[in-house]
Amino acid sequence: MNALADALLRLLRGHRLVESVRIVNYDETPAGKVELKIRCRLVGRYQLQVWLHHEPAFQDYAYQLFTDRPVLRWDNSPHYPDIATAPHHFHNEREEVDESPLIGSPVEDLRYVLGDIEQWLSESPNNLTA
């Protein structure tokens, strides 16, 4: 496994919200292309999915907090070009799309996502048991 995948797994396994981590898909080519999908069971009934398509010249990503439906999502699909942080954007629990502070740096971005999830969970006691 490459250094990026190892760093993401270490971060997830060491975070207080994460109860378990499972690699769903991992593929790496000699040219440096990496496809990675990780699913984590979090506190409550939540799961977090991390998806990366990493190549030396570009990177696609999606982070999704979900139960039986999507709850919070961060990604860089080019669907919202009018958002100031395009292609980076965020979908909240009301399915509204807004700017995202993510920058396409997987370890930094994942730290932000985990912190944002922690804050969201702490804002309502119902979030922890949903």
Q: Measured between alpha carbons, how far is residue 128 from residues 2, 42, 81, 117, 121 in Å? A: 34, 10, 34, 11, 6
The residue ranges of every structural domain in the chain are: 3-129
The pLDDT tens digits for 9-42 are 999 999 999 999 999 999 998 888 999 999 999 9
- Name the nearest CA neighbour of 70 among 103, 93, 50, 98: 93
For residue 114, what are its two tokens?
A: 């985990």
Model pLDDT for residues 53-108, shown as the tens digit of each residue: 988 788 999 999 999 999 999 999 999 999 999 999 999 999 999 999 999 999 99
